[in-house]
Homo-oligomer: A and B are copies of this chain.
Amino acid sequence: MKKYQHLINLIEKHDNFLLTAHVNPDGDSIGSLLGLQYLLEPYAQKIDILLADPVPQYLRFLNGANDIYLVNDLPDEIKAEDYDLYFILDCSALDRIGQVKDFFVPEVRKINIDHHSDNSNYGAYNYVDATVSATGELIYNLAVELGSNFQFDFGMAIATAIITDTGNFRYSNTSPETHRIIADMLELGVDTQEIIKNVYETESYSSMKLKGKVLTNLEVTANGQVAWTVVDEPMLAKLGAAWEDTEGLVNYPRSLKGVEVGVLFKGVEPEKTRVSLRSNNYFPVNEFAHQFGGGGHPRAAGCTIQAPLAEAKDTLLEKLQMKLKQIKDD
């Protein structure tokens, strides 16, 4: 049987679909949502996308991105019970959909489509494959099994999902299949240059200044194995930058010569610090993040620490050094 045969049966049996993805949506979640929406349109009477947080500016070039609903700003016609299937994309746990969870009614079944290895299979149906680079690859595979005619908008959405989640083919999740999907998309006329330009090369003055500041603040510890930098609300305010401008900054400490773990500390509130972790070769940042209640992938993970920036930083860096030493001793 085909991998998605049962899902295809479900799609054919239902008419009203509500799609969602994780809080602080990124390129893979928005691209997958829009891709799935295009795919389901021929099968749907009613199809909508609903999120807890807004689509970031750098993804608004995608057709349909401005028609996504926000749970805190819902028009009257959106009622959770009017849908007969919920699709939850790119979420390892149900809590990751944020306030959309409270909006959902329990009677409607959830379809969980994701590529995170720590996915908790919270759906009534679970399509989880951690071998693919992006949830967008799973949506592409579903489209192939459905025999869909690929349209330009579908291709742009899926290519955006893949390009962003592989860091433009830089990360180790990039497979031969990843490149082959992009080759097919290019052949259909999808403009990967436009995607790359929107996602990576259209920076605001303030975000560029923020990058400068963050790089100037960069520090190295643990014999050069760990590099880290910080960003907080006063820094952003001073430069006129926003939290979304911090996206991707964690790759700078990671890309320093000899570094195994790169860390970005974000003082999001006086008593709350968000931490992004990246590793290069062997350090399992997701396992490490677990001890702070976080998670993610082996080479890209995150956590939130209920403490001021300086304190969170000292605690985490100390534990990180211990863990690195322990791995070395093993």
Contacts and interface: CB of A to CB of B under 8 A. Distances in A.
Interface string A182-221: 1110110000110011001111110011011111111010
B171 A169 contact: no
A193 B299 CA distance: 13
A323 interface: no
A42 interface: no
A255 interface: yes
A213 B293 CA distance: 36
Interface string A225-259: 00000000000000000000000000110111100
A180 interface: yes
A168 interface: yes
A186 to B, nearest CB: 4
A179 interface: yes
Contact of A212 (B174, B205, B218): B218
Interface residue SS majority, chain A: helix
A172 interface: yes
Interface residues on A, range: 35 or more
Contacts of A121: none
A183 B176 contact: yes
A204 to B, nearest CB: 5
A258 to B, nearest CB: 8
A241 to B, nearest CB: 12
Given A169-B192, A178-B183, 14 more contacts: A169-B182, A170-B200, A179-B180, A197-B255, A200-B255, A201-B255, A202-B255, A203-B256, A204-B256, A205-B257, A208-B218, A208-B252, A209-B216, A215-B215
10 contacts: A169-B169, A169-B182, A176-B183, A176-B184, A183-B183, A200-B255, A203-B256, A208-B252, A212-B214, A212-B216
